[in-house]
Amino acid sequence: MRRTAYVASPYGFAESTKLFYAERLLPLLERHVDVIDPWVVELPEGREPRDRWLALGDVHLASIAERADLVVACLDQEPPDNGTVVEVAWAAAHGKPVIAYRTDLRQGGEEGLRYNLMIGAAVRRSGGTEVGSLEELERAVSRLVDT
């Protein structure tokens, strides 16, 4: 049975990243896993926009906890997107390995770290790893699904 990966990213918010997400990242992942793509989930029904957004957050976190075997977290930006960081922590808390993908050249955390030390700690404690290129990402996904 193929394993599933939830893709945590801010890439659906901007036109500048949607193409990369759809044409590079997802096809790479789909060679190894069934992808849970949070950008194709419909906004739940509700009376108030606030309630609908809160329900969508619940759907995303439930997908990680209940359906995902691992999480691929795209942490480009400085600082990394706060929703993606929450998904990293949620995955780690639920024992889902996180592959932290960051190609952003800016240092974002304490000296020598790619981002805040707590993000790195969550990734390591999850049993996941940090990667800095698509090639490294593909190798990391392959290693996780083959174990």
Domains in the chain, CATH or no CATH each: 4-146 (3.40.50.450)
Which residues make Cβ contacts (< 8 Å) with residue 103, sequence separation at least 6? 76, 132, 133
Q: Which one has a higher pLDDT value, 22 or 78? A: 22
- Whether the bond between 79 and the residue before it is cis, its omega within 30 degrees of 0, is yes
Closest CA to 116 of 133, 137, 130: 130
Mean pLDDT value of segment 130-147 = 94
* Whether the Cβ atoms of residue 36 and residue 4 lie closer than 8 Å to each other: yes
Does position 36 have pLDDT exceeding 80, yes or no? yes
pLDDT in tens, 45-59: 767 888 877 888 888
Closest CA to 144 of 124, 126, 128, 131: 128
pLDDT in tens, 98-125: 999 999 888 777 777 788 889 999 999 9
